Amino acid sequence: MLRLQRTKLGGLGLSLFRGLHHKPVMAVRREDVNAWERRAPLAPRHVKGITNLGYKVLIQPSNRRAIHDKEYVKAGGILQEDISEACLILGVKRPPEDKLMPKKTYAFFSHTIKAQEANMGLLDEILKQEIRLIDYEKMVDHRGIRVVAFGQWAGVAGMINILHGMGLRLLALGHHTPFMHIGMAHNYRNSSQAVQAVRDAGYEISLGLMPKSIGPLTFVFTGTGNVSKGAQEIFNELPCEYVEPHELKEVSQTGDLRKVYGTVLSRHHHLVRKTDGIYDPVDYDKYPEHYISRFNTDIAPYTSCFINGIYWETNTPRLLTRQDAESLLAPGKSPIVGVEGCPTLPHKLVAICDISADTGGSIEFMTECTTIEHPFCMYDADQHIIHDRKYNGVDIWKSWFTAKVSYSQIKRVASLSVEGSGILMCSIDNLPAQLPIEATEYFGDMLYPYVEEMILSDATQPLESQNFSPVVRDAVIASNGTLADKYKYIQKLRESRERAQSFSMATKKKVLVLGTGYVSEPVLEYLSRDANIEITVGSDIKNQIELLGKKYNINPVIMEIGKQEEKLGSLVAKQDLVISLLPYVLHPFVAKACITNRVNMITASYITPALKELEKSVEDAGITVIGELGLDPGLDHMLAMETIDKAKEVGATIESYISYCGGLPAPEHSDNPLRYKFSWSPVGVLMNIMQPATYLLNGKVVNVAGGVSFLDAVTPMDYYPGLNLEGYPNRDSTKYAEIYGISSAHTLLRGTLRYKGYAKALNGFVKLGLINRDAFPALQSEAKPLTWKELLCDLVGVSRSSKHDVLKEAVCKKLGGDNTQMAAVEQLGLLGNEQVPRAESVVDALSKHLAMKLSYGPGEKDMIVMRDSFGIRHPSGHLENKTIDLVVYGDVRGFSAMAKTVGLPTAMAAKMLLDGEIQAKGLIGPFTKEIYRPILERIKAEGIIYTTQSTISS
């Protein structure tokens, strides 16, 4: 415990006091902000020191105060209700506005320095009554470090609480742990008793009594101040080992169960610049908005309990967002095998203790503080619901105190606060009140050296005339009816906020998203993170747009985009940006509306010849149209250009470039004849094999015809052998020699990946004439209904009345007797009596049929696999063989892998264009550093991680 620094008292003060005709008086007011506030700004021994100097100290009586009134009386304090005699009134928390007394000096935590809206009424009343307000939060030394604070005890209490909460949460998940013997901090007479309980739990952990199936527990601390240090003091009573952040992954999987692991996180561990992935502390202090946090990908997935001790400032990166929580809570593959009675954890992250209690801050989904009486709640990321203390819409604890609910209901809600799906949250905003005596002693020791000069403050005199030390003077927020010069910014903040609220709607950036297919939702989710973006969604599919409207704040517009040119034009004219997620044939139609109205446009699809024809018009309009921003095309371009540009920077040349990419079902869900399921446009997928392809191999141009002969170009892939992949060339790869600037390459191939057997099955469909885009009148709306059996009869040239065996024989003959292809046709019901969907063409009908048969079911995941291979010749003559691998799985409770990897880069480019990060004009792709570098950096924060590997040969 710190000693009283009496030497700072009594010098200047006594000399001034001797010249006064009356004795200055100070008062310690009663805390009345809530039932748990039992602290005081000074302990009895501090009061004794002040009275020994000749000052009169009034103590407002309180049975709630943890230190008994009689102890203050013994120390020389005078117990009385009326404290109007005092010139200085000390408290911990804010007093009620109606109890303020004019022209006094008050000291307390006002929470006004950020122009907090909830406390502006209090500040107005302080100014009106010409009160001198000293805010403890702004009492800092010459280094800007706070000299008066409760922070350490917030950390101590918070850590005790979350260990108790971990015990309850793990029990709810089926595990008794030593943490069950640790109680809430306020249940102990003092911290020494709590420390002993933690030590006892630690002893049991060291004996190996933690359940094996939950794996090693890891604790991550943010912040290096007193809050974090206080939490670590309690953690250190456990058998713990501190590791570096990069070691978390390993110890979280293979660590010793007889200990717990901790890591202390600093900025450089998780903050990186968006453009180059580097952390520069000087640059960060100037431009924090240029940085992102990798906490969600590099730290959080390996964290059992996260203890946050830092505040979030606007424009700085958040540690965790709502989307991060969805990813972190998705069921993962545990290296530990659980059995009935000994289950594994549903996900690694069990609990978060936000000691900062900064709502909507660095932890975005922490939107409401918990309380001492109800310390825990469960955050359900899937539904963004906080399961808390409400029972049938009633605040259970408030109603308990007024006898409106039963004890059984109290018990029910108490159990709900640690049960169910999600993360256990603890975010109490008055933690030191749980250890009130020690917190009071600690705070009083820091405040005591400054009390005398505060007593001598005369609020009726100008602030400039007061003989304050810099610590006290700079903490004066208001005096004589005005804000102190240092805090006049508060009024500007208020005015700025009011202006922002008034004009927010008028200044919002307007974005039109066209299409409501697979990719639209991650685009909407990403753009919705910016409250300054107003989103309109246009689609002709009413039920889809209605579903999106329930999840996101959008303006829905029902329209047939390809048939309502005038409506589209008037809608586009009101926007700052248009994002087209429509079938590629509609992009030129949308682009023409953007050109006419001079509105920028983004699309994930290829820049087709039809779009290319509009290039001059785009340039003349002075707008930006960016295409090929998805996965393939999109991320494949960006990863290629990053490698190519880096090679050129060191004088190297690209000798070969081969890129294969595919969207696939996760292996366990590939159980159908195509080994494929649809999370993308079925028509586009089917027609892909009909397109001719061209590529460069060892200096020779190879042409591949589409259709039946495309099977000849399919080759087995030797990487990821467990996936049993095959690949085939896609479109014209040779043109990328010019686009990528790699004319030196002797091999240039871009292709598609599928599971082995896919190409052969589709080759059978080609033979039967099922992949044909020509108009087919018998399937159109005015024709009679047709079954698949009847359609196949027509296609293979037998009578519609033919028996099944006759049709089967004809189909088999058409397939050249290939039993594998025949089995695919039968298993997909193409010889049966199911009605063929109405469509313009046979392939459109097949597409609708396969979309129903081969769609993803509940709990099924997709994946994307991309492999880029480069041959890089360095000036030394050495050949570098470099590979880039990108494997992403879909989230069962979130977005598919395809939707994420197409939608998020598209949305990021849209945001960059809106924010002015992209300045280029014309029809462009993501081939420049201006575009690809920020996107490749930002996708990492969304869990889209790629790896690289190189080998060097002479």
Q: Annotated catalytic sites, by residue?
A: 632
User: How many whole angstroms separate alpha carbon 150 and alpha carbon 441?
Assistant: 10
User: How many whole angstroms separate alpha carbon 950 and alpha carbon 643?
Assistant: 12
Q: How far is CA 433 from the centre of its chain?
A: 32
- Look at strands 747-755 and 725-729 and give their pairing: antiparallel
Q: For residue 489, what are the contacts with CB-CB under 8 A and spacing of at least 6?
A: none
- Dihedral Cα 172, 178, 180, 184, nearest 10 deg: -130
Using an 8 Å Cβ cutoff, are 540 and 560 in contact? yes
E strands in 790-916:
862-873, 879-889
E strands in 54-210:
56-59, 78-79, 88-90, 105-108, 132-135
User: How many whole angstroms separate alpha carbon 608 and alpha carbon 329?
Assistant: 40
Length of the chain: 954
Q: For residue 342, what are the contacts with CB-CB under 8 A and spacing of at least 6?
A: 174, 211, 212, 213
Helices (H), 137-223: 151-172, 191-206
User: How many whole angstroms separate alpha carbon 925 and alpha carbon 618?
Assistant: 14
Please give the structure tokens belonging to residue 141. Answer: 């030394």
Question: Is 625 in a helix, a strand, or coil?
Answer: strand
Q: How far is CA 473 from the centre of its chain?
A: 41
Using an 8 Å Cβ cutoff, are 320 and 365 in contact? yes
Q: For residue 123, what are the contacts with CB-CB under 8 A and spacing of at least 6?
A: 110, 112, 133, 477, 478, 490
Q: How large is the greatest C-alpha to C-alpha distance in the chain, in angstroms?
A: 121
188-195: which pairs have CB atoms within 8 A and are 24 or more residues apart? 188/160, 188/435, 190/435, 190/437, 190/438, 191/156, 191/435, 191/438, 194/156, 194/160, 194/234, 194/435, 195/234, 195/237
User: How many whole angstroms separate alpha carbon 299 and alpha carbon 339?
Assistant: 28
Using an 8 Å Cβ cutoff, are 219 and 302 in contact? no
